[in-house]
Chains A and B, each alone.
Chain A
Amino acid sequence: MSYTITEKILLAHTDKKGIVPGDFIDARVDFCVGNDITAPIAIKEFEKTGAKKVFDRERIALIPDHFAPNKDVISANQCKLVRDFARKHAIKHYYEVGRMGVEHALLPELGLVMPGDLVVGADSHTCTYGALGAFSTGVGSTDLAAVFMTGKCWFKVPESMKFIYKGKLKKWVGGKDLILYTIGDIGVEGATYMAMEFCGEVIENLPMDDRFSMCNMAIEAGGKSGIIEPDEITWAYAKEAKGPKGIKALKEKLKGIKSDKNAKYSSVKEYNVSKIEPQVALPHLPSNARPVSQVKDVSIDQSVIGSCTNGRISDLRIAAKVIKGRKVNSRVRLVVIPATQKIYLEALKEGLIDIFVNAGGVFCTPSCGPCLGGHMGILAKGERAVATTNRNFMGRMGHPESEVYLSNPAVAAASAIKGRIAHPDEVAG
Chain B
Amino acid sequence: MILKGKAWKFRDHVNTDDIIAAKYLTTTDPAELGKRCMETLDPEFVKKIAKGDIIVAGANFGCGSSREHAPIAIKGCSISCVIAKSFARIFFRNSINIGLPIMESKEASRDIEQGDELEIDIAKGTIRNVTKNKTYNASPFPKFMQDIVDKGGLLNYIKSKG
Contact = CB atoms under 8 A, between A and B. Distances in A.
A222 interface: yes
Nearest to A223: B89
Interface string B14-35: 0101100111011110000000
A20 B64 CA distance: 27
B119 interface: no
Contact of B159 (A49, A142, A188): A49
Nearest to B145: A24
Contacts of B67: 37-38, 140
B103 to A, nearest CB: 17
Contacts of A67: 25-26
B144 A373 contact: no
A370 B66 CA distance: 17
B66 A123 contact: yes
Nearest to B94: A140
Interface string B136-160: 0000001010000000011100110
Contacts, number: 125
B69 interface: yes
Interface in A2-36: 24
B80 interface: no
A393 B66 contact: no
B77 to A, nearest CB: 17
A48 interface: yes
Interface residues of B, number: 38
A40 B68 CA distance: 11
A138 B90 contact: yes
A149 B154 CA distance: 12
A37 B153 contact: no
B74 interface: no
A123 B90 CA distance: 10
Nearest to A121: B66
B159 A143 contact: no
Contact of B68 (A38, A49, A75): A38
Interface string A121-147: 111101000000000001111110110
Interface in A176-197: 188-189, 192-193
B59 interface: yes
A145 B22 CA distance: 21
A366 B117 CA distance: 49
A45 B155 contact: yes
A140 B90 contact: yes
A189 B86 contact: yes
B97 interface: yes
A400 B39 CA distance: 9
A143 B90 CA distance: 10
B88 interface: yes
A192 B153 CA distance: 23
B98 interface: yes
B90 A139 contact: yes
A105 to B, nearest CB: 17
B86 A192 contact: yes
Nearest to A50: B159
A249 interface: no
Contact of A188 (B13, B17, B40): B13
Contact of B88 (A66, A122, A222): A222
B16 to A, nearest CB: 8
Contacts of A400: 40
A285 B142 CA distance: 31
Contact of B22 (A146, A154, A374): A374
Contacts of A374: 22-23
B93 A373 contact: no
A312 B71 CA distance: 32
Contacts of B13: 188-189, 285
B155 A142 contact: yes
Given A41-B68, A140-B66, A146 B154 contact: yes
A381 B154 CA distance: 40
A74 B26 contact: yes
B60 interface: yes
A49 B161 CA distance: 13
Contacts of B63: 188-189, 222
A139 B66 contact: yes
Given A140-B93, A143-B93, A188-B60, A150 B158 contact: yes
Interface in A251-277: none
A121, A149, A222 interface centre (most CB from chain B within 10 Å): A222
Given A142-B98, A394-B18, A37 B155 contact: no
A361 B15 CA distance: 31
B94 A149 contact: no
B65 interface: yes
12 contacts: A38-B67, A45-B155, A78-B26, A124-B64, A126-B66, A139-B66, A142-B94, A189-B60, A189-B63, A189-B88, A222-B88, A395-B21
Interface of B: 13, 15, 17-18, 21-23, 25-28, 40-41, 59-60, 63-69, 72, 86, 88-90, 93-94, 97-98, 142, 144, 153-155, 158-159
List 4 tightest A-B contacts by C-beta distance, closest first: A140-B94, A74-B26, A142-B97, A372-B22
Interface of A: 24, 37-38, 40-41, 44-45, 48-49, 66-67, 72, 74-75, 77-78, 121-124, 126, 138-143, 145-146, 149-150, 154, 188-189, 192-193, 219, 222, 224, 285, 372-374, 391, 393-396, 400
